[in-house]
């Protein structure tokens, strides 16, 4: 809301954006997340959760 309300000068806004970009780059480099999700593992998890839910409701 600070930006929307005009409480930052343009140069302050650019400095803030540069700071956030640097922080994000640092976090991206240090991240242990894979480049892409393991789609098969996600699908297996969804199926298992759906089966557990249906069993809890007595529908499976």
3 assigned to some structural domain = no
- Please check whether residue 5 lies inside any domain of the structure: no
Q: What is the pLDDT of residue 4?
A: 83
**Is position 2 within any domain?**
no
Residue 1 lies in a domain: no
Range of the domain at 45: 10-56
State how far the Cα of 12 lies from the Cα of 31, in Å rounded to an integer: 28
- The owner of tokens 């240090």 is 30
Q: Is residue 43 in a domain?
A: yes
CA distance 6 to 12: 11
List pLDDT tens digits, range 1-60.
787 888 889 999 999 999 999 999 999 999 999 999 999 999 999 999 999 999 999 998
- The number of CA neighbours under 13 Å toward the Cβ of 34 is 4
Confirm whether 24 is domain-assigned: yes
pLDDT given at position 40: 98
In a domain, 15, yes or no: yes
Average pLDDT taken over every residue of the chain: 94
Domain count, the chain: 1
What predicted TM-score, i.e. pTM, was given to this entire model? 0.52
Residue 52 lies in a domain: yes
């Amino acid at each position: 809301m600070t930006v929307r309300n005009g409480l930052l000068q343009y140069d302050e806004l650019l400095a803030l954006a540069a700071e956030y970009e640097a922080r994000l780059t640092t976090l991206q480099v240090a991240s242990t997340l894979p480049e892409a999700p393991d789609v098969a593992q996600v699908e297996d998890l969804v199926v298992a959760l759906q089966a557990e839910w249906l069993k809890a409701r007595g529908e499976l």
